[in-house]
Structure 1
Amino acid sequence: MLALVVDSSTPAVTAGLVRLGPDGLDVLAQRVTVDARAHGELLTPQLAAVLAESGVRAAELDAVVAGLGPGPFTSLRVGLVTAATMGQALDAPTYGVCSLDALAHAADDGRPLLVATDARRREVYWALYEHGRPVTAPAVTAPAVAADAARLRGAAFAVGEGAHRYADVLDLPVRDQPLYPPVASLAALVADRIRAGAPRETLTPLYLRRPDAVAAADRKSVLQ
């Protein structure tokens, strides 16, 4: 089975193609470009590139997997709209994964850990994990709040771009990798659902806060 993988929840514009076997998966091709301002320009060409590199036609895809965030409004929307559109056009089911879960999956060594990505505004998107499973809901707060929660849960280390950015506040060992949600982990977390032919999932974004750009409020006429 073939699954296309998309994540745009971080500055990394991520596209990949995986083949799911009975007992595992193989990453056939992937493209990851770190550019927080170019998700819209880069994602579609990267998807085309991974298909071309693998010699796979879009019509052969069995599923589309997307990272749901949390992430900034604009970049996250690019990935989810692209994934949903491809799923509809190809009549392929779509499946969503919390992007923080993918980071935890890739870093899990059995010990409690903190996953933190950069939320801008001097904040982080974060969650705590034990044995690769979330023990807190995703949140967006100041790094100090995440640090307090990590201490209470006995987190042994932290991963993610946000953990690197605020390592001095978190006061935890920070692993070099993964910085961004890996293609293999995004796919692995929904692999059983894909193999079982589970129904298509609505790709609901984890924004956690309102977008920076909002519609202007109605203004009174200067003539009134």
Structure 2
Amino acid sequence: MRILTIDTSAVASAAVLSFDPADAVRTQKVEANFATEDTRSHAEVLAPGVKSLLGDPVTEGPALDAIIVGTGPGPFTGLRSGIAMARTLAFTWGVPLYGLMSLDALAQQVFDTPRYDAGRAVAPLAVREFVVATDARRKEVYWARYSAGAQLLDGPHVGPASAVTGVQVFGAGAGLYAAELGANGCEVDPGFADVQPSALQLGRAAVRRIAAAGSLEGAGLLDTTPLYLRESDAKVPGPRKRAL
């Protein structure tokens, strides 16, 4: 199976992964991957970035089994650029399209990362329920709560970091508000304090779901409705007032 993943909930990113659903752990291969560090130029860099992953988009696009796009939560402009591109490519190539919450990708990355002691993996990074948080700007975070096995328990939400209490917190949102979270009894892992969702991790989370279900259709993937969690700042202007 071969999938293209796109995520623009934070940075602009895309990846191509291939795997055998019957043995996804050992057969998973990252064919190509790109991600920017800039969180404000998605529209300019995404199309060239996706094109760079495919030697011949005309033939390699139809060779995909699915396109999976991160549905956020994320800022309006950046998030919609990734979803719009995914929808366009899926329609043009005739490839099935699915969505996956971007915070799930970050949670999967936490689950996959061990804790080391003296250079040796000794335990999972998250040993109990945990929260992943990303920067929502306006002094707020996007966040969701997960079990130690990276199963979604609550969320997604947007709000001040002070709303999160008494758990391990991972992600760039945790790094930005480490002091506030620490005052609330939270533990912020310094190694995960600047990590953003990416298409590569989105793909790895999708691979695990597909492998567990044995098919794309049963993997519990979403449609591509974006999770903005806020209304757009852009408003339709009201009618002109009549001059007296």
TM-score (norm 1): 0.87
Deviations for 1:67-117, whole angstroms, at most 9, x for unmatched residues?
Answer: 110000110000001001111111111111111111011102342211000
Q: How does 1:1-224 map to 2 (within 5 A)?
A: 1-10=1-10, 12-21=11-20, 22-24=22-24, 25-52=28-55, 57-108=60-111, 109=124, 110-130=127-147, 131-146=149-164, 148=165, 151=166, 155=167, 157-171=168-182, 172-177=187-192, 179-191=195-207, 192-193=209-210, 196-198=215-217, 202-221=223-242, 223-224=243-244
Structure 2 residue matching 1:49: 3-state secondary structure: helix
For residues 184 and 101 of structure 1, the distance between their equivalents in structure 2, rounded to whole angstroms, comes to 12
Distance change (3 Å), C-alpha of 1:53 and 1:126 = farther
Distance change (3 Å), C-alpha of 1:175 and 1:53 = farther
The count of aligned residue pairs is 214
For residues 94 and 37 of structure 1, the distance between their equivalents in structure 2, rounded to whole angstroms, comes to 25
Name whichever of 45-54 and 12-21 sits farther off: 45-54
For residues 179 and 122 of structure 1, the distance between their equivalents in structure 2, rounded to whole angstroms, comes to 18
Identity of aligned residues (%): 35
Q: What are structure 1's unaligned runs of at least 5 residues?
A: none
Distance change (3 Å), C-alpha of 1:116 and 1:53 = farther
User: Does structure 2 retain, via aligned residues, the 8 Å contact 1:115–1:160?
Assistant: yes
After superposition, the CA RMSD in angstroms is 2.2
Residue identity in the other structure for 1:198: E
For residues 37 and 238 of structure 2, the distance between their equivalents in structure 1, rounded to whole angstroms, comes to 35
- What's the offset of the Cα at 1:160? 1.2
What residue is the counterpart of 2:114 in the other structure?
A: none
Q: What are structure 2's unaligned runs of at least 5 residues?
A: 112-123
For residues 197 and 7 of structure 1, the distance between their equivalents in structure 2, rounded to whole angstroms, comes to 19
Residue identity in the other structure for 2:13: T
TM-score (norm 2): 0.81
